[in-house]
Amino acid sequence: MAEFMNLEAQDGVRMPWNVMPGTKQEASTSCVVPVAAIYTPIKSFPNMPLLPYTPLRCRTCRSILNPFSIVDFAAKIWTCPFCFQRNHFPHNYDSISDENLPAELFPDYTTIEYDDRSATGSPTSPPVFMFVVDTCIIEEEMAYLKSSLSQAVDLLPDHSLVGLITFGTFVHVHELGFGEIPKTYIFKGSKDISKEQLLEQLSFFLKKPKPSVGVIAGARDGLSTDAISRFLLPASECQFVLNSVLEELQKDPWPVPADQRAPRCTSTALGIAASLLGACFPGTGARIMAFVGGPSTEGQGAIVSKNLSEPIRSHKDLDKDSAPHFHKAVKFYEGLSKQLVNQGHVLDLFACALDQVGIAELKGAVEKTGGLVVLAESFGHSVFKDSLKRVFQLGDQDLGLAANGIFEINCSKDVKVQGVIGPCASMEKKGPLCSDTVVGQGGTSAWKMCGLDKDTSLCLMFEIVRKENPDGMVPSNSNHYQHQSGQMRLRVTTLSRRWVAGQGSVQELISGFDQEAAAAVMARLVSFKMETEAEFDPIRWLDKALIHLCSRFGDYQKDSPSSFSLSPRLSIFPQFIFHLRRSQFVQVFNNSPDETAYFRMILNRENVANSVVMIQPSLISYSFHSTPEPALLDVAAIAADRILLLDSYFTVVIFHGSTIAQWRKAGYHTMPEHQAFAQLLEAPHVDADAIVKERFPVPRLVVCDQYGSQARFLLAKLNPSATYNNDAPLPGGDVIFTDDVSFEVFLDHLQRLAIQ
């Protein structure tokens, strides 16, 4: 694994196949796991140079000069490694030679960044935040939310612009620039409103008449800066007004009958926020931050009727197509996501409720704009409060939020792009690079990333189109615009991987197999198929893929299960697939459509290391007998005198064995003579805090005891090697009440099927 980590540390890329199958036949049928790459476009590299000039592009394919280019120093010509076009160096490169290379030709700088101010010439624009706040929540939740928002306002950069919209039965657009008394414009929640109507009703054209032709787009095109600054002000100027509006914010005053849900017009409020930002600040890094505390019941994006007798849609309803509001809401949010992508704006969603709020419907709009999503039970929960703080935090733990990215890709002629699974939107740039097979956002070689951060990762799916045996290498170059600290930057990553094909290629393919990256790609792919293919059976698909992979790359004698073995490069992959089959991405039972959508959205934007923790959680054991050590993710790891720390990405569990729990309840850790016990209790908390601090969204921390009700958070993730219907557990151990097969049985069946 170490060499794959090193490649990631250099370029931010992990690929399942680092030695690539050389023909279409080999890649599509024999290799099972697709040829793909998980790429983190703006991963921070401490040693990466920032070049203060415009990059050199190939005049035919627009690829950028890179270390794989062939350079003729005497003639001052470079040959593009993608299309083999010969290009002349401009005069400012006259002094280059073997000894005097520009940074972009250094062999180590396969990833490099350009400060591209000269290309854009635009002044740096401040970040814009539009808070959209739900008021149909109980007083207690309202107090929690107001407190968190006040803290967020204090953390905003002084030059950032901020606006406020609140919604319940009606949508209230707050005029923060009118400081004398609170002033709001009110719109009916059940009525759609166009951008033109909105601007008319917000009196945008009182002083400056509306232009008769053209699109209204900010202060340059049709709007006065005075009109814009009534609703969006610099944080330093409106902090007092905004805080006083938040302090006085009340729960939605309209009475709700006992047999009905609150009339909540989430979609209308988001539509108004998008139109207002689109008119005032198109093309700048603006974020709509929606704080939603319950299901939407009004407007185009309603997910359920007001009658409490009608339950909110479940997975069963969606499977049977008996969710009456689902398709209409999805269609509305698809339209909203197109509008936001065209404007270059981001939708962030903070959903805090015991009920579902409509994440399943909103998924497309949040994902295509690269928005952040946080799901918690309450606005008072640490998952929400700490996650919101992290968005605005500066320093080591900041998210590195960037905006308005354009992600482009170029490949050698034998590689085509099927698509991207991840937080981006297709720019529909069709061309010879695009494969006929579409996976995710496909049919394009360029994608818009309205919002991204230093951990945002895309999964690129490739197709090998070469028919005969290849020779040589396959470079693949992806260049990426990004907006950080207001400047435009261009990040360029160029990769090269070796092809192999033919009889002796199996061992070489195995030598370049990255099983963690393969598990992450398979998880994204199976989630995508579950959402887009009718009648798709994920368990059967994963099992067939694993059997096929093992029979192709395993060592065995035919019809002899005991002779079966896998190379160390492949040996953990069956374990990943076993846990993926049991994970919340595949098993939707016991999860609502909102929870499933949330888990998949996070999976689709995280890097390989984090994705692997979601698929197969890590388990650490603490005891008096040894230092903290990794434990097998198995029920056998439970012992009365042990503490276990489980990290399943969304939840971090500290689990005390029964003896440890008894000692703790007896207060031994407070006695001076039992200092060692106090340290043992403290150790997992220190490690858990370190995990919580660096993760976004902040995970839920569960502290529980063996046989306690919350022990289920641990037991649900463990391999059930001891269940209620087999032998008794070890003394102090535990059993799991399940009919699921254990990993041993799973492996046994796999070996029998692979050797046939």
How many other β-carbons are positioned within 10 Å of the β-carbon of residue 152?
20
Instruction: Specify the pLDDT at position 736.
Output: 81
Instruction: Specify the pLDDT at position 196.
Output: 87
Q: Which helix (H) or strand (E) holds 196?
A: helix 195-201
Peptide bond into 697 cis (omega under 30): yes
Q: Which CATH superfamily is domain 128-392 in?
A: von Willebrand factor, type A domain (3.40.50.410)
Reduced to 3 states (helix: H, G, I; strand: E, B; else coil), residue 577 is helix
Instruction: Specify the pLDDT at position 486.
Output: 67
CA dist., res. 756 & res. 750, Å (int): 10
Length of the chain: 756
The closest of 222, 193, 198 to 210, measured between CA atoms, is: 222
Q: Look up tokens 């490099």; give the residue.
A: 112
β-bridge partners, 416 = 463
Q: Which helix (H) or strand (E) holds 530?
A: helix 515-532
Count of CA atoms in the C-beta half-sphere (13 A) of 154: 8
| DSSP class per residue in 80-105 | -TTT--EEEPPGGGTT--SSS--GGG
The reply to whether the predicted model has a pTM over 0.85 is yes
Q: Helix H segments across 466-592?
A: 505-511, 515-532, 538-553, 573-582
Instruction: Specify the pLDDT at position 354.
Output: 93
The closest of 585, 613, 434, 462 to 524, measured between CA atoms, is: 585
Instruction: Specify the pLDDT at position 121.
Output: 44
Instruction: Specify the pLDDT at position 213.
Output: 55
How many other β-carbons are positioned within 10 Å of the β-carbon of residue 151?
13
Sheet with 86-88, strands from edge to edge, namely 70-72, 77-79, 86-88
Determine whether domain 1-59+113-119+401-500 maps to CATH 2.60.40.1670.
yes
Backbone angles phi, psi at 562, to 5 degrees: -70, -20
Q: Which structure tokens are listed for 599?
A: 């888990």
- Distance of alpha carbon 644 from the chain centroid: 28
Q: Look up tokens 């649900």; give the residue.
A: 716
The closest of 409, 369, 424, 406 to 481, measured between CA atoms, is: 406
Helices 235-248 and 139-155 cross at an angle (nearest 10°) of 170
Residues 436, 376 contacting (CB under 8 angstroms): no
Reduced to 3 states (helix: H, G, I; strand: E, B; else coil), residue 47 is coil
Strands 111-115, 50-51: parallel, antiparallel or unpaired by DSSP? parallel
CA dist., res. 187 & res. 746, Å (int): 58
- Give CATH 2.60.40.1670 domain extents, the chain: 1-59+113-119+401-500
| DSSP class per residue in 396-446 | TT----EEEEEEEEEE-TTEEEEEEESS-EE----STTB-SS--SB-S-SE
Instruction: Specify the pLDDT at position 220.
Output: 61
DSSP 52: S
- Write the CB contacts of 520 (distance below 8 Å, at least 6 apart in sequence): 14, 38, 459, 608, 611, 612, 615
Cβ burial of 335 (10 Å; 0-12, 13-18, 19+) is middle
pLDDT along the chain (756 residues), means of 10: 88 94 83 94 89 91 92 94 93 91 92 73 76 96 96 91 96 89 91 89 77 61 79 90 91 92 96 95 92 96 96 94 95 97 96 96 97 97 95 83 91 92 95 93 94 94 79 54 66 90 84 96 98 94 96 89 92 97 94 97 97 98 94 94 97 97 94 93 96 95 95 94 68 76 93 90
- Give CATH 3.40.50.410 domain extents, the chain: 128-392
β-bridge partners, 79 = 70, 86
